[in-house]
Amino acid sequence: MSGGAAPSRVLEITLPEWVDQVVDWNRRYADDESRVRLAIALSRENVERRTGGPFGAAVFESATGTLIGVGVNCVERLANAVLHAEVVAIMFAQRRVGSFTLAGPGAPARELVSSCEPCAMCLGATLWSGVERLVFAADRADASALAFDEGPVFPESYAYLEQRGVRVERDLLRAEAAGVLALYRERGGLIYNR
Amino acid sequence: MSGGAAPSRVLEITLPEWVDQVVDWNRRYADDESRVRLAIALSRENVERRTGGPFGAAVFESATGTLIGVGVNCVERLANAVLHAEVVAIMFAQRRVGSFTLAGPGAPARELVSSCEPCAMCLGATLWSGVERLVFAADRADASALAFDEGPVFPESYAYLEQRGVRVERDLLRAEAAGVLALYRERGGLIYNR
């Protein structure tokens, strides 16, 4: 790298083109199961279309099930280690509500639903996002079985979130989400943080 | 939020316009002090120009001091809780090298330098980024004095990074960086994750 001209000050993050074929933006996702199924559908589609790692996430209004934003893992496609599914879902949800917090004054409670347990980075992002609830399907053990590293997450990490009002619900439809991880392995998908 | 048409699949992240007035892309930042000074200069400029929180960061080639990417806190300006200075610096550095890891085959060792100790999210991002070294100036106590929350970071978190080959250097030019935090408080800057 030789220095020289200043690099561009603009960086673009794009969801895959297929997203709007998979996501029904008008649907109310009434219960946890339908919300987790959407996150898992996004993760599976990301594997089958070969657009990234086996992870999907979405942000909902907790009470109504209105969908606010979705994310899939974009690490390899966009050459960006930060773009885990949860981070992407939070970014797009905040862009949609026009605020750096999903817990702004007068805003309805919102929640993050992920196909897999968040890594250390995404757990931090969850805390800063302003969601009041985190729901995930596959867990750390399932991701680790694939040699995906989850980073420095400890029982105290979850206690820290709970103390700040973020409730955590784990292992919903775990087997189904773990199946997508297995599919990714079968297809020889890249383990980008091994 | 009423659902309806699908939201845009594209999200743009921009550095402030003043960045190229402050950053000399052709300079070799030969030692730790010059690298930390750049991170602090970015944090101060972000406060003085009122473009965001009091945090700056940069990625360098460790051996040569070649600058790869810079970041400033963009949380409020871009309505995006994820855009801490370290995350922004990593994203732009990876875009510049065209890879989701700064530790790719044949790549020179690279390091992340921040004006302040990374929060839980940014510490995770540091691990996934592929840098072999993390250097910071102000620390958790300085940020907390301003009521900025650093999230679930524990001594074991640092042990986790060190075990995976990321060396950590703390408190370089700490007083200077803490001065920028104090400046932000004096100016009544927003504490977005209090």
CA B27 distance to own-chain centroid? 19
CA distance B194 to chain A (A): 9
Q: Which two tokens stand for residue B19?
A: 């960045």
Look-up: residue for tokens 């700040």? A164
Are the C-beta atoms of residues A17 and B9 closer than 8 Å to each other? yes
Q: Which two tokens stand for residue B126?
A: 């540091």
ipTM summary value? 0.96
Mean pLDDT by 10 residues, chain B (194 residues): 76 98 96 98 97 98 98 98 98 98 95 98 98 97 89 97 97 96 91 76
Bridge-partner residues for A59, per DSSP?
A69, A112
Are the C-beta atoms of residues B137 and B39 closer than 8 Å to each other? yes
CA distance A174 to chain B (A): 24
The C-alpha atoms of residue B128 and residue B122 are separated, in whole angstroms, by 10
A127-165 pLDDT, tens per residue? 999 999 999 999 999 998 888 899 999 999 999 999 999
Sign of CA dihedral B60, B184, A91, B79: negative
Q: Is the pTM of the predicted complex or chain greater than 0.95?
A: yes
**Yes or no, beta carbons of B123 and A124 under 8 Å apart:** yes
**Yes or no, beta carbons of A82 and B79 under 8 Å apart:** no
**Chain B residues whose beta carbon lies within 8 Å of the beta carbon of residue A164:** 149
Percent pLDDT > 90 in chain A is 90
Please give the single-letter amino acid code of residue A110: R
Q: Where are the alpha helices (DSSP H) in chain B?
A: 19-22, 32-48, 85-97, 120-129, 140-145, 155-163, 174-186
**Yes or no, beta carbons of B151 and A127 under 8 Å apart:** yes
First to last CA, chain A: 26
Which residue of chain A comes nearest to B91, CA vs CA?
A: A80
Are the C-beta atoms of residues A51 and A72 closer than 8 Å to each other? yes
Cβ-based neighbours of A92, under 8 Å, separated by 6 or more:
A15, A59, A69, A70, A71, B7, B11
**Yes or no, beta carbons of B128 and A152 under 8 Å apart:** no
